[in-house]
């Protein structure tokens, strides 16, 4: 609790005060089991008296461990990734690892410089939500010793590790579901992202295979706003035959469609059914409740962290790809 402002205490000052070597103080922080209880107590006291906070820049340089994980997502707001990021930050926090948040937006150039920023800080791991096509960047990542974990999707050729689920399978499941419920004219509202398009493709293929009538569809610019649904819905009303179920690329899109439909006097699901994606909290709380796809974002975070830990321990990782699956939750809206 001493120290003049500006200069922070160093490890050797703690060591001097505790009457031990710097090596021992370092061990006290990084490998406490090996230091004797009495020694630890002296160090603890010295740390408290001096108000010592270790310099992890120096520590990271020396140990080659930054205790920093980079999480690169497209957006934060209205984003389904928020859940995974939140889970990741919370879980990593308990091990003293911190998350560097990178927002890639839709520009590839940003993804590139964010990856370099993460590499420059010697991030222990880089979590990627986007799909990285650039061969040069993939090579840069592979040559680095950093653990790279692609989450959310399930690339057939991962850069390093991957934790996610098959978006195509989601589309297939939704097709089967709406078919089994007897809907005849699905309309797809697909955000302009690669993953949403995979789901769309799966749905259309399965729907056609089941002998369904042609599907109508519309794109919605990502990131999706609650209100993107309005313009989309106006178009839908003019369609002939009018769709009897609208499959939305996100829950907030679904919610927007429902609010619009209901404010036009239509009943959900009787006049028009709606399916969402993501099982955000509002899906269960909207009236009527929203039929959607549940993805366990916290589990994705857990599996990713478990993989990092194995890597850090130098263990061999058998499954480079982990499928966490998903669940279709049938509620009132469809």
Question: Is the separation of the CB atoms in 101 and 314 below 8 Å?
Answer: no
Using rule CB under 7 A, residue 23 touches DNA: yes
For the segment 108-137, give every residue that binds DNA (CB under 7 A): none
Dihedral of CA atoms 218, 223, 226, 229 in degrees, nearest 10, equals -10
> What b/e string do you get for 260-282 counting C-beta neighbours within 10 Å, with b at 16 or more?
bbeeeebebbeebbbbbbbbbeb
**Among a copy of itself, DNA, none, residue 24 binds (CB under 5-8 Å by kind):** DNA
For binding to a copy of itself (CB under 8 A), which residues are involved?
1, 3-8, 51, 53-58, 60-61, 66, 68, 75-78, 82-83, 85-86, 89-90, 93, 96, 98-103, 105, 110, 113-114, 116-117, 119-122, 136, 139-140, 142-145, 225-227, 230, 252, 256, 259-260, 263, 281-282, 284-287
**Among DNA, a copy of itself, none, residue 51 binds (CB under 5-8 Å by kind):** a copy of itself
Cβ proximity to DNA: between 21 and 263 the closer is 21
What's the min distance (Å) between Cβ of 17 and DNA?
13
**Among DNA, a copy of itself, none, residue 147 binds (CB under 5-8 Å by kind):** none
**Among DNA, a copy of itself, none, residue 36 binds (CB under 5-8 Å by kind):** DNA
Q: Where are the alpha helices (DSSP H) in 181-210?
A: 194-209
**Among DNA, a copy of itself, none, residue 278 binds (CB under 5-8 Å by kind):** none
Using rule CB under 7 A, residue 30 touches DNA: yes
What's the min distance (Å) between Cβ of 43 and a copy of itself?
16
For the segment 55-84, give every residue that binds DNA (CB under 7 A): 55, 58-59, 61-65
Using rule CB under 7 A, residue 3 touches DNA: no
Burial label for 329, CB within 10 Å (0-12, 13-18, 19+), is middle
Cβ proximity to DNA: between 36 and 208 the closer is 36
Within 13 Å of residue 111, how many CA atoms lie on the same side as its CB?
20
Q: Where are the alpha helices (DSSP H) in the chain?
A: 11-18, 22-30, 37-50, 56-63, 81-93, 108-120, 135-143, 167-180, 194-209, 228-238, 251-263, 281-285, 297-312
Phi, psi of 128 (to 5 degrees): -115, 130
What's the min distance (Å) between Cβ of 117 and a copy of itself?
5
Q: Where are the alpha helices (DSSP H) in 124-193?
A: 135-143, 167-180
Task: Please tell me the distance from the alpha carbon of residue 94 to that of residue 263, in angstroms, as a whole number.
Answer: 47
Within 13 Å of residue 82, how many CA atoms lie on the same side as its CB?
10
Using rule CB under 7 A, residue 197 touches DNA: no
- Tokens representing 302 are 């857990």
Q: Which residues, in sequence order, are CB contacts of 173 under 8 Å at separation 6+?
A: 293, 326, 328
Site stretch for DNA (CB under 7 A), options 31-39, 69-77, 168-176, 275-283: 31-39
**Among a copy of itself, DNA, none, residue 116 binds (CB under 5-8 Å by kind):** a copy of itself
Using rule CB under 7 A, residue 11 touches DNA: yes
Q: Point out which residues bind DNA (CB under 7 A).
A: 7, 9-12, 19-27, 29-31, 33-36, 38-39, 52, 54-55, 58-59, 61-65
């Amino acid at each position: 609790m001493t120290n003049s402002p500006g200069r922070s205490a160093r490890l050797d000052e703690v060591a001097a005060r505790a009457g031990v070597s710097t090596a021992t103080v370092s061990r006290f922080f990084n490998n406490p089991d090996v230091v004797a209880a009495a020694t630890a107590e002296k160090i603890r006291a010295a740390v408290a008296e001096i108000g010592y906070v270790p310099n992890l820049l120096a520590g990271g340089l020396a140990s080659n461990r930054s205790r920093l994980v980079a999480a690169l997502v497209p957006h934060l707001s209205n984003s389904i990734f928020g859940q995974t990021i939140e889970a990741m930050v919370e879980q990593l926090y308990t091990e003293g690892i911190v998350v560097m948040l990178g927002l890639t937006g839709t520009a590839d150039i940003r993804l590139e410089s964010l990856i370099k920023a993460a590499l420059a800080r010697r991030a222990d791991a880089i979590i990627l939500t986007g799909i990285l096509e650039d061969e040069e960047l993939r090579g840069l990542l592979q040559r680095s010793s950093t653990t790279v974990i692609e989450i959310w999707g399930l690339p057939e050729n991962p850069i390093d590790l991957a934790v996610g689920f098959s978006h195509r399978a989601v589309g297939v499941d939704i097709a089967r579901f709406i078919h089994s419920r007897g809907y005849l004219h699905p309309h797809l509202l697909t955000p302009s992202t690669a993953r949403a398009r995979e789901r769309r493709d799966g749905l259309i293929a399965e729907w056609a295979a089941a002998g369904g009538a042609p599907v109508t569809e519309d794109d919605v610019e990502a990131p999706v706003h609650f209100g993107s649904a309005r313009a989309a819905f106006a178009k839908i009303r003019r369609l002939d035959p009018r769709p009897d179920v609208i499959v939305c690329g996100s829950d907030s899109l679904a919610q927007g469609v429902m609010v619009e439909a209901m404010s036009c006097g239509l009943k959900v699901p009787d006049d028009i059914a709606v399916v969402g994606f993501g099982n955000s909290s509002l899906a269960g709380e909207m009236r009527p409740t929203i039929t959607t796809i549940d993805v366990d974002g916290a589990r994705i975070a857990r599996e990713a962290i478990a993989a990092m830990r194995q890597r850090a321990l130098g263990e061999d990782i058998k499954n480079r790809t982990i499928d966490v699956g998903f669940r279709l939750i049938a509620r009132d809206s469809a």
